[in-house]
């Protein structure tokens, strides 16, 4: 089977057998074998699904993960230990190290502040970052004492053992504000205001959620995202208008 026909077969079934995977990858990696794929699975670098009969079934993501592993071995001569670290970074929503000795990197788009957020910006992410405390501090420029204060005031919190992308944006913003002498204790009003906005959104969507049908749930999800974007736009505009009035502009 050619790579094209294997890909077409995959799109039709959603999953590929191990033979199909070989057909897809061999044009770029002629030395790939079933034994090699099984070895990488045994090392825990890939985890294809299994049928009731025990046959391996690979998703598109599995194939791309294999392609990444093989490219790291062929082009950068990376050992499996280092590749595993790269994959762990990718699984946490980070970018793998650019060179040997570097650590994983936070995607720059995550902390971009260009323009106002759209409703889609409030869509739950399926690949949100998961940062350790050290990674959060390094990426945000915040020091440990300020982070402890932020957590104490409820502005930042962990999800399980990690911090998510929103925690990073908050920490980065606070670090920049700290240069002007603003401390976490000054920011409690932001948290109070945000909680009130969340409460307002909940008042709007709660009647939709009580209807318990898929269409109402979708309308509620859409309303939450749109209202979130509008509230940020309104807040920004009010601050701009207030500063203009106070400063006589």
Find the domain containing 9 and state its range. Answer: 3-91
pLDDT 10s digits, 40-90: 999 999 999 999 999 999 999 999 999 999 999 999 999 999 999 999 999
Residue 105 belongs to a domain: no
pLDDT of 7 > 60? The answer is no
Say if residues 137 and 156 touch (Cβ distance below 8 Å). no
The span from the CA of 40 to the CA of 46, in Å, is: 6
Task: Give pLDDT, residue 73.
Answer: 95
Task: Give pLDDT, residue 13.
Answer: 53
Both 57 and 129 in a single domain?
Answer: no
**pTM reported for the whole predicted model:** 0.65
The span from the CA of 85 to the CA of 45, in Å, is: 10
CATH of the domain at 175: 1.10.1660.10
Both 81 and 127 in a single domain?
Answer: no
Residue whose entry in the numeric block shows the structure tokens 């191990």:
18
Both 54 and 151 in a single domain?
Answer: no
Both 241 and 140 in a single domain?
Answer: yes
Both 66 and 141 in a single domain?
Answer: no
Say if residues 10 and 16 touch (Cβ distance below 8 Å). yes
pLDDT 10s digits, 9-49: 444 457 999 999 999 999 999 999 999 999 999 999 999 99
Both 233 and 135 in a single domain?
Answer: yes
The tokens describing 190, both together, are: 């932001």
How many domains would you assign to the chain? 2
| Sequence-ordered list of residues with C-beta below 8 angstroms from that of 243, at least 6 positions apart, any chain | 249
Residue 98 belongs to a domain: no
Residue 183 belongs to a domain: yes
The span from the CA of 46 to the CA of 63, in Å, is: 9
């Amino acid at each position: 089977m050619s790579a094209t026909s294997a890909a077409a077969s995959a799109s039709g079934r959603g999953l590929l057998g191990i033979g199909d995977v070989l057909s897809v990858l061999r044009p770029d990696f002629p030395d790939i074998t079933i034994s090699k794929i099984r070895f990488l699975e045994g090392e825990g670098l890939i985890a294809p699904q299994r049928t009731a009969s025990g046959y391996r079934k690979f998703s598109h993501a599995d194939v791309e993960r294999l392609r990444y592993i093989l490219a790291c071995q062929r082009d950068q001569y990376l050992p499996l230990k280092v590749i595993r670290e790269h994959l762990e970074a990718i699984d946490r929503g980070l970018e793998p190290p650019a060179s040997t000795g570097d650590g994983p990197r936070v995607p720059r788009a995550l902390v971009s502040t260009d323009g106002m957020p759209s409703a889609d910006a409030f869509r739950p992410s399926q690949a949100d970052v998961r940062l350790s405390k050290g990674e959060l501090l390094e990426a945000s420029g915040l020091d440990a004492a300020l982070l402890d204060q932020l957590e104490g005031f409820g502005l930042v919190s962990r999800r399980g053992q990690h911090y998510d992308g929103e925690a990073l944006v908050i920490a980065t913003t606070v670090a920049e504000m700290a240069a002007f002498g603003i401390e976490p204790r000054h920011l409690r009003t932001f948290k109070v205001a945000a909680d009130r906005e969340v409460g307002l959104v909940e008042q709007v969507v709660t009647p939709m959620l009580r209807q318990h049908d898929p269409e109402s749930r979708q309308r509620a999800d859409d309303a939450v995202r749109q209202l979130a974007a509008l509230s940020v736009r309104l807040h920004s505009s009010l601050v701009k208008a207030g500063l203009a009035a106070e400063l006589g502009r």
